[in-house]
Structure formats: structure tokens, C-alpha cells
Structure 1
Amino acid sequence: MSTTFLSLGLQDPINKALLDLGYEKPTVIQQKAIPQIISSTDDLKAFAQTGTGKTAAFSLPIIELADQNNSNIQAIILSPTRELAVQIGKNIEDFSKYLPQLKVVTVYGGANIEEQIKKLKRGAHIVVGTPGRTVDLIKRRVLKLQNVQWLVLDEADEMLNMGFKDELDKILVATPETKQTLLFSATFPKEVEAIAKNYMTKPIEITSGEKNTGSDNVNHEYYLVTEKTRYAALKRITDLHPNIYGIVFCRTRRETQQVANNLIKDGYNADALHGDLSQLQRDSIMEKFHEKNIQILVATDVAARGLDVTNLTHVINYKLPDQIENYTHRSGRTGRAGNKGVSIVLVSKKEQSRLNAIERIIKKKFIHQQVPSGKEICQNQLFYLIDKVKNIDVNNEEIVTFLPSIYEKLEGLSREELIQKFVSLEFNTFLSYYTNAPDLNNLSSFGNSRGTASSENMTRFFINIGRKDRLNPAKLIGLINDQNIGDKINIGSIDILDTFSFFEIDKNFEKETLAAFKANEPDFNGRSINVEITKTDRSSGGKKRKGGVNTEGFGRRKNTKTTTSSKRKSKLSEKPSRSFKDKKTGGFGRRRRAR
């Protein structure tokens, strides 16, 4: 006989709410924790992988035991981030929707404290909060915890990592010694042991699987990169998977914003989530991500805590976390609710040794993968497009009036010609981008630069067309390829500005590039093309074109990028992201790339 929530001792109104939410049977951690909390007042340490239902494991028994006729605050639940606090509060409201007298209030920084005070004064049985805001409300004598029966420390290790030890101490002082302390975590570093020792009395310990191990539903892969190829590898990996819906983890807020800016500029449905955003911006981004209007979310570890997304296909570690235990949190974001997932790590040869320590923690091996070639990517994208066309539902009623005119326009074209033209229409931009794409697995050709913008082996060129001419990176690459400069030409970084642009070409083809553009005399949308070599004049700090023409007004490339990044940062959350289900996505699962 299978275990049900009813058999765990939960009352009918809670079970009814769970059925409405699609909860059919409890997870392992829920089966162990719920009866333990209901039947005992012992402190509890519970360890389970991310995504196994820890929130329900501690909140359901508290809802079951809470006295709705008692106006005092009976439970305080602490979480490290606003996102996680909001998610927990919402879950408790959903679980208790048939218990209308039960009141839940969520308190956190970055929101109007006066509104939160009003809610607390109207009464609360359960309070969910971040440590900082909780302490503020205690100091204001608005949040009174002397009658608390349950204290929950969710993701306690992360609260310590974020420097909340002093806040935890102050909150603990405000609670009675008779309370039951419940500690839930996905990892078990020594800091958690310290919490248990200092804040708990002879706690019972339960686990779901082995501590800190990775989910069986997640495959772990790694790609070798250099600093120069890290971002290019990220793009190729996402391009290899047209249906990707995932999180890219970065170490810092600045890196998170920069990677997101670059992805947006390159035409991906992406956005950034980090601590520098306002609560309104964060809420807007998360709403878009839940609705899949954002396909790739670039986030810091802290900002991603509390994300309740069950169908992520990939987690990509743009950089490994500083504390390797956090890898479990990251990888646990995919492979949830019985789904399969992939956790990918981009590492340099110097960083590769850190994978061994992670393997010991997750008890799984990383599989070394080759950064995909342009041919592999184009093949995947093409067949994804064909499958999408084959499976699309045709609305005959809507299009029937247009069909006679369409048939007339296409008269004379054979089936093969129609298919070829259709594929070319949707696919030419993609093919042009990856034509003669370099092998990113040949690390020796990219060196060990620490992220410098231009390679010593590249020549930087000026071209007199830009965004106002409707130029994008893909069109510029196509224009360069059309000049037939060489079979093995490598195209480096590209900067598209308003009225002019810059691009890099392998130094070995410097003369050939100038000669080809001069001989072919190409135009772009009716405008004659002028291509010249640029070089840095260190004495003046500006850019000069060969021949001495001063282009200092163009600004340094680095400063140009900084300005773009800054503008994007301020407008990032105001700009609507186009869904990858949109009919205008060019058939590749996201907007037609403007590389």
C-alpha cells in the first residue's frame, strides 16, 4: 500500500489543497519529516537534495499543528533570500487555502516595511522572513516571538555564507527555549554542524538519500575552455540545444550582468538575476522566466535560491562556485519532479582539478564533452526546425482565405524547391554565423589570456556601417565571408555601433582582407563599404586607423562595452523578452539571432 499525505497524519482540508495542487504522494523527505514533526517536539536536522520537497516537509506539519484560535505568532521560518522567503510564504498559503483562519505573513528587505508592519498588526500565525528584515521588525517591537513553538532554519548554510550569523543569534534570543528547532538543508558542510551544536538540543537526524549527493536524474558534464573561449563555448552549448530552458550560474553580480547583456545583444531570450536589482525588477524577471518568455536566466548563487522551477533542462556553471558544496545546490535546480536534467561546467585546465572534489561529494563522475562544432549545431537546429514545422497545428479556418493567393504566388515551384527555399529563409543567418567557425577544443590556439578583449594574433578593422544600417554580427560575418578572403580565416570579436563597427581577423589574412574588400567593392543595403585597419595609440588613449586618421571620438572598445552594459542594466527588466514560443523566433527556439 503506497503512502499518502492523509496517512501521514494531515487533516482533510490540507489534503484537499494538496490534491488541487497536483500533489499525489509524498516524497521521501516528506514521508520521514512530516510524521516526526507531528508526533514529537524533538529538534530535527533534515537533509535532502534540492527539489525533493523540503518546503512541504516542514510547512505541512506546522500548518497541521498550528492553533488558528491563538492569535500569537506560532512559527517563524527563516530563509536566506527574498526569493526563497516569498516562495515559502506562497506555498504555505496554497497548502492552507481551505483553512481560511490561518494567517501567513512574509517579511523581507527591499519591500515597504510599513506595509509588512500593518500585516503583522492584523495578526499572523506563521511568519516567513529573511534574517535582516526579521531583526529590524524585532527591534521595532512589532515582531514578537516569545510564544513561538517552531523555528525553521531553511538553507541555514547559505545564511551563514551570507554573513547572517549575528542576525540568527539575535533572533534566537527572542525565541523561547521550549521551541522546536527544525533545520533543513541540501548540503552538510561543517558550518551546519556548528549551527546544530549551538542552536539545537539533541536533534533527530533524517536524510533523503545520502548527504550532499547529486540527483540520479542529473547528468554531469564538463567542457574545457580558456578565458577567451568561455563565452563562445556557452553560446555553442546553448545553440546545440534549441529547446534549452535553464540557468547559467556566475560568481559575481558584475559577471552575471555582463554575461546576460552579451546574450541579449547576441539575440538570446536571456536576463540577469542578482542582488543589485530592485524587487520589482526581480519579480518581473521571475514572472517572465516562469512563463518561459525568458529561456536562459543568468544568476548568482544567492539570487537563485528559492526558484521553484521544476522543468529546467540545463544548469550551466559559467564559473565554478567558490565553495564546491554549492555545486549541489546549482545542479539540483534541474532533474526535478522526475524529469531528466544536465548540469554543465565550463572549466579551464587550471580549474579542472576542482572537479575531483565535487565528484567525491556528489558521488558521480563528470563526463568530458567536446565543445560542439558549427556543423553539429547547424544540424541540430535544422532538424529541430523541421520537427517543429512537421508537428505544428494548422488552423485551416484562419488561413483558408489566403491560400488561393499563396498558391498562385508559389505556382511553378516544385516540392523540392519550396523546401529548399523555406529552409534557406529560416536558416541562412545561422549557417553564415558558423561558416568557418574555429575549433574551440584546440585550446592552444587561444592561449591563456585572462579575458583580454583582443588576441595578439588578430588584426582589428574599422568598417563604415553599423546598427543604423541594420547591420548585426551575423550579417557582418556573412559580408566578410562573401569576400572569399580565405578558406581558414578566423573571425574574432565584433563590435556593432550606431554608424560604424569593428571586427577582428586573423593577422595572417590582414593584407588579403584589405585587398578583397577593395577589389570586390561590396555594398550593404546600397551603401558603399569602406574597410580600414585600426590600431591603438597608447600615447593618446584613442583609436587610430592606419594612415593617421584620428578616430578618438569612437571611444575605447572597453568603454563602449561598459556604456552598453550600463544602459542595458538600467533597462534590462523594462524590455519585454520575446517568448521562444513566439511565431517570430525564426524557428530556432529563440529570436532570430542578431550576432
Structure 2
Amino acid sequence: MTERDEEVKTFKELGICDQLVDACKTRGWLKPTRIQVEAIPLALEGKDLIGLAQTGSGKTGAFALPILQALLDSPQPFFACVLSPTRELAIQIAEQFSNLGSDIGVRCAVLVGGVDMVQQTLILAKQPHIVVGTPGRLVDHLSNTKGFSLRKLKYLVLDEADRLLNDDFEKAIDEILNVIPRERRTYLFSATMTKKVKKLQRACLRNPVKIEAATKYSTVDSLKQMYLFIPAKYKDFYLVYILTEKSGSTSMVFTRTCEATRLLALILRNLGLKAIPISGQMSQPKRLGALNKFKAGECNILICTDVASRGLDIPSVDTVINYDIPSNSKDYIHRVGRTARAGRSGIAISLVSQYELEWYIQIENLIGKKLDQYPAPEEEVLLLMERVSEAKRLSQMKIRESDGGRKRKGYGRDEDEEEIDKYLGNRKGKKSNKFKK
């Protein structure tokens, strides 16, 4: 911890104005986090920043507060643009800007795919101060929306910057950088950061200050990390065993594919567990609906791909389960960062099959620690075999029927998610006794 960490106790001492200090108090931000202590004074001095901090450490506040303070000093439309790799994270960032800026009249626009462009065009016509979006949809509007430009932009933020500077977003990011002013402030923030200097140079930083409010690739101390080395054919049984053991917890289960989220959600639902899927194959309204149900506590298990691994702040998550080990070990950091946020405790359990051992070893090397084994006696787990196998058979049959219906009708209907919605509605106030002995 630096001397600054020990000395600074309030946002006021960091240089934040009274109006925004009051906004922080309203949101329950009474004391700045370490990344905020490190970043905010430098941002207020006008520096470009590269910020590395653990997930759940208050990164959004570290860039939002200086931007809003600068906006108060010289208000103008299209003052700042924040880019995010996922739609859900963009929406969350915009909510934080709106909440912090509600008393000072800040207008935000969210530009993400899966939403009607005409609606977004109408919002842009009102000349918002802050634009938050995904790169592809922002490029669509820059190319096609009459009267919209970022030629007077003062601030550019790349949140989850390592992902945005990857090849997937290269073309869109380059197009955006070509049409915004070179004279601007630029902030890159992430829990993990690319080492490739060329990629960082593409963001056109000017003498940036690097802030490491965490050791590289570290996880928070309040997170308990464990593993189970199991045969691949038993993975479903172990997952159900853990979730039933933690039936009072709020859990996120990460899979590698969209198809797996769909199948696992149906299996768990057939076993009486409140699970809901979220993946890139779902329509945007369905994705947001699933996320909102999870946040509201209507269901306590979210089955997801890495679309939900970055930046999302769901305070109540107690448990993260890696049903599939990520092939990119950096993704592990982001996944397990969905729990043990803002000083709370949490547990992350990785199910490691014989085919995933190499990826698991890479994760241990990355975080620099050996994980403990999660206690799950095989004889107890295999007592679930018959019921879980039957639930899986019924779920696969349901998916085949659903897919056949879609092909015959020529369109998709998100039938499985609708079934889960009905199930959750029917389950309110009821408790499952399927696993009671």
C-alpha cells in the first residue's frame, strides 16, 4: 500500500468536487478504492492512464468521476466515449455514469447491437454528453447516422482494454480512432493487460502513466479458489452435487459454448434448481432479461459463456463454477472476479477433466499459486447419477423437439428461455424437495 493509500480517506481529498462527492455518498461510495486513489488525482491532472486493477475494485468510478468533473467545468455534447467488448458491460457502465451524474443533468447514450438503431438515433439526436457502446455498433452510427460525429470528443475510455485491442475488434477500433481528435485524454482499464506494445500504441496514448493497483494477474485475497480433478463423463454429476450443496448461494456457472448453457439450464431446471442461461446466441432482450432475473434473485444460478465474464457487477454472487476450464488462462481471472467483489468473500471451483489439465496448469502458473481440492466424495456424487442422467435425457429430447420446430417454422423462438421463464414463475414461493433424503 502506498503513502497515498494511507493518507487519503475521502473522495474530497482526491480532488473530487462537492457535487460528485454527494453523488458518491448517495451510491454508498464512502471511501475510495485503491485504483480510485491511484487514478483519480492523475486523471484530474490531465494524464493519459493505463490502469490495471482486480475485478470488483471500482475501475468504473476511477474513470467516470474525473470525466464527469471535467464535464462540469466545460459542458458540451459528445464529451466522452467509453468502449466495452460486451453489450451487458456497456449498459452497466452507462448506468453508473447516469447514477453519478443524475443530479447534474448528465445525458448518456448506449450504443450496442441487438437493439433497434432508430431508437438509438433518436437518443443521439438529443446530443448526450457520454456515449457508451460496443465498437461495431458505434462504427455503424458513425457511418450511417446523419449529424452524429465524435469530432469534438475530449475523452476516450477503453474498458477491458486488453480484449478491445485484440484482433476481433481491430478494424472497428481503427475506424473509431481515425475519426476522433488526437488531442484528447485516453484511459485504458482492465484486470489483465496486453503485453504487446504495438497494440497499446494503436490507442494513441500520449505519455501515459501506468497504474498497477494489483499485482499482475492477481485475484483478491477474499476469494477462495479450489479445483476438482474428475472424469469428463462425471462432470454433470459433480456440478449438480456442488450446486445442491450450495442451494442457498447465488452461483455463476461458466461453460465454453452457447449450446452447453442451454442444455445445462434445462438439466438443472428438470432437477428443481432455479437456473437460467445467458449466451451470445440469445437475443439482446432475452440476455438482459436473464441478467435482470438473476440480479433480482428470481433465479440463483446463471449458466453463462464468457459473455458474462468481464466487468459485470452482480454484488450477491457467492460462487463461481468453471464447468469448462477456459483455454485462455486470462479469462479465468475475469470469470472468478464475478465473486468476492468490493471486499466481500466468495468461492471459485474449477471442474477439471482429463482433457483440460494443461489449461488448468497454465492458470496455476498465471496466478502463481496452487489451488486446494474441493471436498466432494465420489460415492456421494455418484448417488445422483440416475436422476441427473434422466434429467439430461429429457433436456436433450426437449432441445431436439425445439430445434425441429424452429426448422419447420423457419425462425427461432427462444423456446427454452420461455420455458424457463414459466418455470421460474411457477416456482415462486416453492422449495424443491428432490434432493432431500
Q: TM-score, normalised by structure 2?
A: 0.89
Question: 1:368 and 1:36, CA in 2 relative to 1: closer, same or farther beyond 3 A?
Answer: same
Partner residue, 1:233? 238
Partner residue, 2:325? 320
AA aligned opposite 1:562: R
1:105 offset after TM fit, Å?
1.2
Partner residue, 2:199? 195
1:227 offset after TM fit, Å?
2.1
**Partner secondary structure for residue 98 of structure 1:** helix
Please give the alpha-carbon distance, in whole angstroms, between the structure 2 residues aligned to 1:285 and 1:138: 30
Map Cα deviations across residues 4-60 of structure 1 (whole Å, 9 max, x no partner).
Answer: 1111111112111111111110100011111111112x3210000111011111111
1:373 offset after TM fit, Å?
5.3
Preserved CA contact (<8 Å) 1:104 1:124: yes
Preserved CA contact (<8 Å) 1:236 1:372: no
Greater RCO, 1 or 2 (C-alpha within 8 Å, sep 6+): 2
Please give the alpha-carbon distance, in whole angstroms, between the structure 2 residues aligned to 1:10 and 1:144: 29
Q: Does 1:494 align with 2:390?
A: yes
When the two structures are aligned, how many residues end up with a matched partner?
A: 420
Structure 1: stretches of 5+ with no match in the other structure? 378-433, 439-472, 475-491, 502-556
Partner residue, 2:210? 205
Task: Show the 5 A alignment for 1:50-199.
Answer: 50-67=55-72, 70-100=75-105, 102-140=106-144, 141-161=146-166, 163-191=168-196, 193-199=197-203
- Choose 1 or 2 for highest CA Rg: 1
Partner residue, 2:220? 215
Among 304, 308, 314, the alignment partner of 2:313 is 308
Map Cα deviations across residues 564-585 of structure 1 (whole Å, 9 max, x no partner).
Answer: 6778942414624548995411
Q: Does 1:283 align with 2:179?
A: no
Q: TM-score, normalised by structure 1?
A: 0.66
Preserved CA contact (<8 Å) 2:402 2:415: no
AA aligned opposite 2:431: T
Structure 2: stretches of 5+ with no match in the other structure? 1-6, 406-412
Question: 1:19 and 1:560, CA in 2 relative to 1: closer, same or farther beyond 3 A?
Answer: closer
Partner residue, 1:584? 430
Please give the alpha-carbon distance, in whole angstroms, between the structure 1 residues aligned to 2:244 and 2:404: 26
Question: 1:223 and 1:312, CA in 2 relative to 1: closer, same or farther beyond 3 A?
Answer: same
Q: Does 1:28 align with 2:34?
A: yes
Please give the alpha-carbon distance, in whole angstroms, between the structure 2 residues aligned to 1:304 and 1:577: 26
Map Cα deviations across residues 361-406 of structure 1 (whole Å, 9 max, x no partner).
Answer: 223321123434576x8xxxxxxxxxxxxxxxxxxxxxxxxxxxxx
AA aligned opposite 1:277: M
Please give the alpha-carbon distance, in whole angstroms, between the structure 2 residues aligned to 1:259 and 1:205: 41
Preserved CA contact (<8 Å) 2:271 2:391: no
Question: 1:306 and 1:573, CA in 2 relative to 1: closer, same or farther beyond 3 A?
Answer: farther
Q: CA RMSD in A?
A: 2.7
1:559 offset after TM fit, Å?
5.7
Preserved CA contact (<8 Å) 1:292 1:579: no
AA aligned opposite 1:570: E
AA aligned opposite 2:400: T
Please give the alpha-carbon distance, in whole angstroms, between the structure 2 residues aligned to 1:48 and 1:219: 18
**Partner secondary structure for residue 287 of structure 2:** helix
Quick check: which one's helix share is greater?
A: 2
AA aligned opposite 1:146: R
Among 247, 251, 271, the alignment partner of 1:246 is 251
Map Cα deviations across residues 286-323 of structure 1 (whole Å, 9 max, x no partner).
Answer: 11101111111011112443422122111100111121
Among 7, 12, 21, the alignment partner of 1:6 is 12
Please give the alpha-carbon distance, in whole angstroms, between the structure 1 residues aligned to 2:377 and 2:83: 43
Please give the alpha-carbon distance, in whole angstroms, between the structure 2 residues aligned to 1:142 and 1:195: 31
Please give the alpha-carbon distance, in whole angstroms, between the structure 1 residues aligned to 2:91 and 2:404: 29
AA aligned opposite 2:417: L
Question: 1:183 and 1:226, CA in 2 relative to 1: closer, same or farther beyond 3 A?
Answer: same
Preserved CA contact (<8 Å) 1:74 1:147: yes
1:189 offset after TM fit, Å?
3.1
1:157 offset after TM fit, Å?
2.0
Please give the alpha-carbon distance, in whole angstroms, between the structure 2 residues aligned to 1:237 and 1:162: 37
1:190 offset after TM fit, Å?
3.0
Partner residue, 1:468? none
Partner residue, 1:299? 304
**Partner secondary structure for residue 66 of structure 1:** helix
